[in-house]
Every structure is written in C-alpha cells, then in structure tokens.
Chain A
Amino acid sequence: MEILSQLINALPGSVSQGLIWGIMAIGVYITYRILDVADLTVDGSFATGGAVAVVLILHGCNLWLAMIAAFIAGLLAGAITGLLHTLMGIPPILAGILTQLSLYSINLKIMGKANQSVNVNQTDLLISLRWVKEFALHNPLITVGIVLVVLIAVLYWFFGTEMGCAIRSTGANLNMSRAQGINTNFNKVLGIMLSNGLVAFSGAFLAQYQGFADVKMGQGAIVIGLAAVIIGEALFGKIFKNFALRLLSVAFGSIIYYIVVQAVITMGLDANLLKLLSATIVAIFLAIPYWKRQYTEMHMRKPKGGKANA
C-alpha cells in the first residue's frame, strides 16, 4: 500500500519526464522507423540541446528563442551525421557515433564545463520539476503536453507534403525513390536533421525540468527512444494506424517507460541497474519479430505428413 501511494505521488513527475523524452522518442521514430536508419547522434544532440538552451537562458535570452536555438543546434548536429553518411560514405551507425563523440567536446565548449545549472529561483524557466503538481501553465505536464500535441500536428502535416512524402519514400525504397526522381541523399540528410532537431528540443526541455544541463544527460538516449518506439508499437500498433496516432503512441510508449522505471525503483530496484534493465528490455523486444519469423518458418517447413514445401 505504501509503495502504491509513493508511486501515485511520483506519477506526475514520471509522466512529465515521459512527455519530455516522448519528443525525443519521436525524433528517434523519424530515423529508426521512417528513414530506416539507426542514428546514434541523439546521445550527443540531446545534451547539445540542453547545453545551448541553458547557456542562452543564463545570458538572458527569451525562453522560447532559446528552445528554437536548441532545435537549430540539433538540426546542425543531424546535418553533420547526414553528410558523414551521404557525402563521405560512412555507414549511418558509425557516422552517428562520430558525431556523438565530437558533440561531447562541443557540448563542453558550449557550457565551459561538464555541467551548468539554471536555478529556477533566480531565473525564469518554461518548466521545472518543482511545478509538477501546480495547476498552472508552467506545470511541465501542461506545457510539454501542449507542445507535444502541436509538434505531432506539425509533423503530421509535414510528412503529408511532397517533401515529407519524399523522405518517407526514401526510407521505404531507395531504388524506387531514385527512379521517381527523388534525391535520396538529400532526403536522408533532411530526415536525420529533423530527427536531431526534435531530440535537441527535448533536451532543452529536460535541462530546464531538472535545473541543469550535463554533458552526460544524453547517455543512452537512443535506447530510451527505441524503448518508447517499441513499447508504443507493441501496445497501440494494432489500433493506431494513422500516422499522427502512431507518433502519439511513441509518446505514450515513453510515458509508460518512465512509469515502469519509477515503479521498479519504488519497489526497491538498485537505480544503478536501470540502464542494464532498459537495454535488456529493448534487446528482447527487438528480438521478438525475428523469433516470431523463425518460429513460423520452422512450422511452415514441416506441415502434417512431412511433405516438404507443398
């Protein structure tokens, strides 16, 4: 009973984090599902977003402008990965790792040190974890919730335009896309940029929420993003067919991920084991489609009577 009340008490915080990481997970969805590329830049660009936003806010920049600057920084990070891949022929995973590594240095340079705090008592912020139970616009649940819905609406529109369709087509079939006059390299870069823009934007939210940016804040972000995508698809894939609803299911996946994390910690799991647990869960969920296929193939091979491949 006590655990339950603790959990309910922590729920607004978990949901807030889930919403913030939900934006980043939608970024991961764009590369992983739409472009069919596993982009590891996000671990770096997430922190870049946080660093850019915090430094600008400390310099008295308008809060929303700081968010937009973080988004642009993410676009640039994505462009680097995209160009490493398309212009220099480096496999996308490696290109992402290279950018991620270089962003570590860049993030240190942006902040001047390994972490930079913004005190909500001294500086005005868009959101903060202190306000998770307040009934006001600056409650992260409300602000991030509204932003998330607006973002999904904009993405829904964008991926329905000629440009957005070209990105989807690039991810779906390279040969066909080129045959239909689509510059696949350009669209890959564009997709990776957009993805990292969203990731950095999400990082800018998290830095304000927790009151600091840290060069390590994006560590393992890709795994959390993938977990959100996979959980969202596993739970809502059958009912959410529409593109906007699919993006929403990714955000739900992220929220559920954070509620589960909160639950296992409340139940006494060593928080140090959390990343191991996340990675294990993602690995298993990534394996399930493969196992399913193997299982059906095994049973297709041996129909009754032993007739092979009838």
Chain B
Amino acid sequence: MLDIINVEKTFNPGTINEKKALKGINLHLDEGDFVTVIGGNGAGKSTMLNMIAGVYPVDCGSIVVDGVDVTRLPEYKRAKYLGRVFQDPMTGTAADMQIEENLALAARRGKRRTLRPGITSKERKEYKELLKILDLGLEDRLTAKVGLLSGGQRQALTLLMATLKKPKLLLLDEHTAALDPKTAKKVLDITEEIVKKDNLITVMITHNMADAIRVGNRLIMMHEGQIVVDVKGEDKKKLTIEQLLQMFEESSGSKFTSDKVMLSK
C-alpha cells in the first residue's frame, strides 16, 4: 500500500528561482496497483517519485508505505521498502563493479551489512538463473564489469536489482526513455513480466502515451504540480489518446503541449 497525503514541495523558496514543484499531491495505491504517470516537463512527475524515494525532504504532508510512515526517513533507510529504476542507465548500476557484485549489493537491500562475504557461491547460481530469464546473454557474463553493458542491458539489470528483494513499491522513472525503441519495448516487456510475477505495486513515469494507456490498471496525468487526470479500471482499458488529451484540457484548462510526449504517441 502507498499513501501520499497532501505532499507539497517548493524548490528554492523565497528566491527568484522559486519553483512550486508539488502543490498538494494525494494518491492512494492498493496491492497490485500498477499506475502509469504522464505529464509535460516540469509537471512534477519525477519530483513526486523522488519524494517517495526520499531524495529530498517534503515541505509538508506525509508518505506512508505499507503502513510505515517514511516521511522522515533518509533515502537509504526507505530503500528497504522501495525498488527504483532511473531514467539514466548509468544511475542504477555501478559501472566499475561486476554484474554479480551489483546483484549481490541489491540482494542485501534493507539488511545490515556485516563482515560476512559480499557474495556467496549459492547466490552466483541464483543470479545466473535470474539473468537467463532476461534473455540478454548476461548469464554467461556474471563477472563482467557493468560498464561494458549496453544501456538496455543495464536497465534490465537495474530492474532485476530493484526487484531482487521483493519491494513494497516499485518506482520507475522513465526507465525506457534513454533506450532505442526496440530495446525500450524489450525492457518494458520485462518490467510487465516481473511486476505481474511478484504482484508489485508500481509507479511508472513514461512519456509514451500509448504505453501509459496500455500498461497497468491506472493512469494519472500531472500538470503544474498537481494530479489533473486519474483513470482506473474499466475506464482505463477503453481509454484512447484523443480522450486522454481532451480530459487533460478540460481539467487543466490548457492544451497539452509537450513535444516529447506528443511525438512519441
């Protein structure tokens, strides 16, 4: 379960660069919810995700994950509940470390790190099996440095790391945006597969309207720090891009103008 209750965030308050990034966000997600988030530049999508993850503190409001109020917890402590994949493939993995070492780091998320071995031979076998599922040929390259992998391979690996220890919440921040269309599709397929298998609550930001409509059971659209469109269940299944744009115009009072989103529909 995720509850975002009246969260606000202003960057650089009191300066000429003041930016109200979130203006009272409320969102409730239940078990098995997969919500896609769409919106133009500066709509507050990434800020919302970063607030959940604890990258910056909130100005007011609270965030509750699985019954635990995490609002005051630092980023590394919240990680216990969260799996995250970033837009930039470089961000989610350590390039100088081996594939298996990256996975082993993720396997210890939320646990105290002691003087026990950083990776065991039993783990190596497990990782090999898991990597086989990705079907990217990584299972034979366990000891290769992650820096040698392609962007798509790194995102798939990050996804595996994010879900290796089943998280209460999976946060995907435009995780296919930096990939070519074919690879993006592959990574999105893997995402859906893992989310379905582990029945994870997922928040996925995307700039691809078609994906946003096709994937998941709920869609929210953000505009100037607020959630302006929220479609669930049957309504979402029947949703078309034209309808979505119309709903956006009605509730926000402005035309939807994001080249990035429009071009990729």
Contacts and interface: CB of A to CB of B under 8 A. Distances in A.
B108 to A, nearest CB: 6
Contacts of B91: 173, 175-176
A17 to B, nearest CB: 31
A168 to B, nearest CB: 7
A158 B74 CA distance: 27
Given A164-B118, A182-B113, A172 B94 contact: yes
Interface in B90-129: 90-97, 101, 104-106, 108-111, 113-119
A181 B86 contact: no
A165 B104 contact: yes
Contacts of B117: 160-162
Interface residues of B, number: 35
B92 A179 contact: yes
Interface string B72-90: 0011110110101010001
A166 B105 contact: yes
B222 interface: no
B160 interface: no
A286 interface: no
Nearest to A168: B97
Main secondary structure of the interface of B (DSSP, over half): loop
B53 interface: yes
A179 B83 CA distance: 7
B43 interface: no
B113 A163 contact: yes
Contacts of A175: 86, 91-92
B80 to A, nearest CB: 6
Interface of B: 53, 74-77, 79-80, 82, 84, 86, 90-97, 101, 104-106, 108-111, 113-119, 161-162
29 contacts: A161-B115, A161-B117, A161-B118, A162-B113, A162-B117, A162-B118, A163-B113, A164-B118, A165-B105, A165-B113, A166-B113, A172-B94, A173-B90, A173-B93, A173-B94, A176-B92, A176-B94, A177-B76, A177-B94, A178-B76, A179-B53, A179-B84, A179-B92, A179-B162, A180-B109, A181-B111, A182-B76, A182-B79, A184-B76
Interface of A: 158, 160-166, 168-169, 172-173, 175-184
